[in-house]
A and B are shown apart, each in its own frame.
Chain A
Amino acid sequence: MPTELPYAADAEISLTYDELEVLRLQYEKELAQSHVTVQTKFNYAWGLVKSPMRDHQVEGVRLLQDIYRTEPTRRRECLYYLALGHYKMGNFTDARSFNDLLLSREPTNLQAQSLASLIDKGVAREGYVGMALAGGVAALGTLLVAGLIRRATRK
């Protein structure tokens, strides 16, 4: 059965502060009653993940992990959201493992596939940065060594 999931781009659109506040209040009210419905928790978690602040994202992922642990029926969807959350935070390996698990369950899921490509792109970009850095370090290193040698030979 295909799961209805939002595209990764949706995670970039954050809610307004007021909306998030409403969700947070709803969540805490239910928390006070010590019965939190899955939907409320998810709403709040998803709102947090969509937010640009890293703290929020961390909290959102933590809540999603809670949902994952406690609701076996919701796990497949949560896989996607966890992958998305980790992707936003930059934990590409985690994101990839969750996403791969989802794809192994549901190979035809479009959103999961698009997320997989996004993760790949992110990893690649970091790779380029790393390459650039390594190149820079190598260049600096050679310059230094050259300078030392020149100094030595000059002496």
Chain B
Amino acid sequence: MASKYKGKSAANRPDNTRAAGPETSTSQSRMDLVSNALFAPFTHKKKNSSRILTDLAPVIMTPRMMNAAATVSSRSRGSLGGSAPGGSRLDFATLGRAPMRLTLGNRRITSRDLQIVEATDELLDADIPEAEGVASDVSLFRGFNATIPSSEKNRTRRKQMRNVETPRIGLKKLGMSARGMMMEDEEERSVASEDDVVVVTRPDERGKRKGKRRGRESLSAAKALGKDELSRQTQEILLDKENLHVRRSLINSEITEIINKIKALDSIRDGLEQDLLKLQEDELELDDELEGVRERMEFEEGAFRQNDKSKPAPSSYIAPSRRRKGPVFLPSEHDDLPPGVAFMTLESHITPITALDFSEPYGTLVSASQDDSQPRLWDLMTGSAIGRLRGHRGAVKCIQVEDNLCLTGADDGTVRLWDLQLVDDDDWDRDGLTDVAEEVEGTAYDGELVEKPNGIRSSEPSEAGTDHTGPCIRSFEGHSKAVTALYFEDECLVTGASDKTLRQWDLATGQCVMTMDILWAISHPQPTIPGNSLPNHFFPGAAASAGHFAVPTPPYADGSWEMYQDFVGGVQFWGYGLVSGSGDGAVRMWDMRTGQAHRTLMGHTGPVTCLQFDEMHIASGSLDKSIRIWDVRTGGTFETLKYDHAVTALQFDTRKIIAATGENGVKIYNRTSMQHSSLHTNGHTQPVERLRYMDRYLISGGRDAALKIWTL
């Protein structure tokens, strides 16, 4: 009855198989588990059975016979997936497999079985490329035969053949005592023959024996191997050599694989290091942002407090924006701009740009060009010119804009302070001829556009006396030669001029507070600083003390050059500390309380053309085609960046240095990754002369008289 039951369920099983369909292996396993449970008393592990047999008759159960016994059962057992993925074919094979599985015992279905089965399908789909490289030279099977332990057995066999039976020499004792170990009482056997006694052949003994001229026969003579054996050995040796060859090629291929892996890992590591650098950069940016936000917090608190008092805000109420590092407010569309492309070009000038500055991104830009005494005003939101600053009698060489205040220094030796809000829209060209009798409105603006009531339009600038009307609020006179560098903050202004002096002015009163003579500083160098014992004339063309200062610039990228005559290339101050860069190639640090230069930083071999410092570094660019970064505290040089042409303008922050280096592209140096890059898409067609940036908004002016605006 039991068998009938088995038969019935076996017949049912294939039906289940058919019904199960796709969910093959799992359903089968459930069935198997159930059948296992039912037939547990009848089944026993195959392992047990063959182990029992092995124990009983180890001699009989050679591997061969064990295999034979096992394969019968295993083959006839069939597997889970075997029947199932074959589809729902109810055929005799399936049927035949079933009872055997039940009767001959069933292993627990392990996850391994399932794994194999499930993997089959995906493997069959995998691509099979042509074997190449080592795979075609050495098949796996060959490698197997070459590397399994039994490949050594021929060699060991040959060695054993060469073993010669000799009387006991006691080598083991020798070895043990050579290693310094005590022999256990293995050598209890008494020394029977004299050979046991021989330990180390001492020279005198050998000499004795030589005399006898008998000698011992060599070991190899004692044994005869026979021709068959020897030929067999030659064959085996040849085979072993082949095996060696196989193993060698295997190892070589492994080595190349490892080399490739190492390369891949190395490149991954490089990528990660780059990421680390980027993170560092981001951190610096965040630090700056934090500072900016804090400043803004203070400002807003102050502003709102003032609003309660409802008095007109004074013109310079914001913390000096030149030192503001944090993010600025930009229109939201700014983010859409592609970086590194000049998205706006302002063209109106006809000569190379000599100075530019702007109040804020998308605010007001003031720019001046060579031989032009009237800097132009631009509205950066629309990109159109909105006016000019008329008043100077010489070309404007330096400009600084802070909100609505603008200071310009010109060739006529004067510095003028302008209120940009008072500049009216001026759409009349210098050469414009339209005589329009325009009513003079509220405030007379005769400092600006001169409009005589009789209709004749005169473009002559008014006299310097009209300081209090019109945009020019104040004029600072005192320098005898062109003012080439200026810097102002709050109420204090410092200017540098070609008369080789620096003057400090009070903005409110217009008076010169102090004059610092560079020539004097050159001829009276501070002796205390080590390394300051170099002569004052750092480079042949200096002629610093000899009157007119003029140095030929090295050629720009387009080959042009000119005479550089600005003795003071750049000034900046903070608190009482002033830094100036001058035509003798020296960067001087002054104390504005005493008016003395307390430190001179030497290193440049050409006139310094531009300068900036922050709490940690001073950056100076010069005609010697280099930018030097100095440490503010010690005066040592941190870095020297070399370029191909003279550096004419620079600006830096913790993360980057942007410089105009006599090429058409604006050069950017990333300080964290130490990479150079250049902005040239839709850029200038002639070398860049001046630049200024705030956060991600950069304006550059070049010798092509164009002003280009970039997103960083």
Interface residues of chain A, those whose CB is within 8 Å of chain B, are: 1, 3-6, 12-16, 18-19, 22-23, 35, 37-40, 42-43, 46-47, 52-55, 57-59, 61-62, 65, 68-69, 71-79, 81-82, 88-94, 97-98, 101, 105, 122-134, 136-137, 140, 144
Contacts and interface: CB of A to CB of B under 8 A. Distances in A.
Interface secondary structure of A, over-half rule = helix
25 contacts: A5-B139, A12-B71, A19-B149, A19-B150, A22-B148, A22-B149, A35-B258, A52-B70, A55-B107, A55-B110, A57-B74, A59-B112, A65-B116, A73-B134, A97-B124, A98-B120, A101-B128, A123-B93, A126-B94, A129-B96, A130-B96, A131-B92, A131-B95, A133-B96, A137-B8
B594 interface: no
B93 A133 contact: no
A23 B134 CA distance: 22
Interface stretch (B61-69, B155-163, B552-560): B61-69
B95 A134 contact: yes
Label chain B's interface by main secondary structure: helix
A91 B92 contact: no
B81 A75 contact: no
Q: Which of A15, A39, A69 has the most CB of B within 10 A?
A: A39
Contact of A5 (B8, B77, B141): B141
Nearest to B150: A19
A122 B96 CA distance: 11
Contacts of A38: 140
Given A19-B148, A91-B79, A101 B124 contact: yes
Given A69-B126, A74-B135, A128-B92, A6 B141 contact: yes
Contact of A52 (B67, B99, B149): B67
A90 B128 contact: no
Contacts of B77: 90
Q: Which of A16, A37, A126 has the most CB of B within 10 A?
A: A126
A136 B140 CA distance: 47
B81 A93 contact: yes
A72 B95 contact: no
A93 B82 contact: yes
A140 B7 contact: yes
Contacts of A4: 139, 141-142
A19 B85 CA distance: 36
Contacts of B128: 72, 75-76, 79, 101, 105
B127 A72 contact: yes
A7 to B, nearest CB: 10
A122 B261 CA distance: 44
Contacts of B93: 92, 123-124, 126-127, 130
Interface string B132-145: 11111001111110
Nearest to B83: A93
B115 interface: yes
Contact of B7 (A52, A125, A128, A137): A137
A14 B110 CA distance: 23
A59 B100 CA distance: 23
Contact of A68 (B67, B95, B126): B126
Contacts of B284: none
Contacts of B149: 18-19, 22-23
Nearest to A128: B96
Given A38-B140, A43-B143, A93-B85, 10 more contacts: A12-B71, A52-B67, A74-B135, A77-B139, A88-B74, A90-B97, A91-B82, A98-B124, A134-B92, A140-B7
B7 A133 contact: yes
Sorted nearest first, the 7 A-B pairs with minimum C-beta distance are: A130-B96, A129-B96, A130-B92, A130-B95, A73-B135, A52-B70, A126-B96
A97 B50 CA distance: 31
Contacts of B426: none
B92 A127 contact: yes
A73 B132 contact: yes
B270 interface: no
A61 B116 contact: yes
Contacts of A90: 74-79, 82, 97
Given A1-B131, A93-B85, A126 B76 contact: yes
B148 A15 contact: yes
A88 B73 CA distance: 10
B123 interface: yes
B266 interface: no
B690 to A, nearest CB: 59
B254 interface: yes
A42 B135 CA distance: 13
B129 interface: yes
Contacts of B143: 39, 42-43
B33 interface: no
Interface in B160-191: none
Contact of B129 (A13, A47, A75, A94): A75
B107 A54 contact: yes
B147 interface: yes
Contact of A89 (B10, B79, B133): B79
Contacts of A75: 126-129
Interface in B432-465: none
Contact of A58 (B91, B98, B113): B113
Interface in B264-279: none
Contacts of A54: 46, 70, 74, 107
Contacts of B71: 12, 52, 88
Contacts of A62: 112, 115-116
Given A37-B254, A43-B144, A88-B74, A127 B67 contact: no
Contacts of A144: 4
Contact of A92 (B82, B99, B115): B82
B117 interface: yes
A85 B689 CA distance: 78
A68 B115 CA distance: 14
Contact of A129 (B46, B76, B250): B76
B251 to A, nearest CB: 9
Contacts of A72: 126-129
A133 B10 contact: yes
B59 to A, nearest CB: 15
B11 interface: yes
A101 to B, nearest CB: 6
B133 to A, nearest CB: 6
Given A19-B150, A59-B112, A61-B116, A127 B96 contact: yes
B478 interface: no
Contacts of A19: 148-150
Contacts of B115: 62
A65 B119 CA distance: 8
Contacts of B91: 127, 130
A44 to B, nearest CB: 10
Interface in B185-228: none
B76 to A, nearest CB: 7
